[in-house]
Structure 1
């Protein structure tokens, strides 16, 4: 099946209407993230704050970072959400206030649950691959989990 082809009717849940793929495309806008990275932010937008539980959708790269430090996002706080980072190219070291230090490499997902509060940083190691490319999605946690423990 090609990406532009609509989903076959037998795989759609009952009661879900066919949607024109063009009607759900959201234009992104560039947002500086840290010192060296710019993301294309698809959510939130003035006309569309969320899609389901997704409250932020950021795409970065592919960027040539061979002569730059790569990603350099200093420690910053989050509450009430979960971040999902999916790296396609490059390497990022995630560090957080719980003491975790997790390298993220291509094809891997990093999930961080902020709950009632966590701080974290995202930085490329000094010796990093020449390309940086990935997606970060933020999930708005349901009310019972918003004040829960960070993980």
Structure 2
């Protein structure tokens, strides 16, 4: 009888483009919660730690429910900390196939308003000082349970 070699299970890895464009904020039960490196908007990205997940339908039912809860947490965090006019929530991933969800605080006077943020205005990376402060404020918001 021939030997059957099982393929090792896939491991979760953050897509290199997401790693380059975002900063770690918190590890949630399902997702990495990350801050987009664009000071034009308070912008969070949730990345489910599920190997090879590209679409919402790739998640099991319990994972989809947990992702919804974590989107809610990120949305409440941005709402409570930044008081935006509107929250944009999107899972697009045309350039980065790994499943990830954007939660973006929008204001009527932000650089892209009222258009979507993608491809409208060049990203404005955080200065080191502004990044430290933004991460501090968001982590404090998470700890205080405002989210």
Q: What TM-score do you get using the length of structure 1 for normalisation?
A: 0.32
Q: What TM-score do you get using the length of structure 2 for normalisation?
A: 0.32
User: Structure 1 or 2: larger helix share?
Assistant: 2
User: Structure 1 or 2: larger strand share?
Assistant: 1
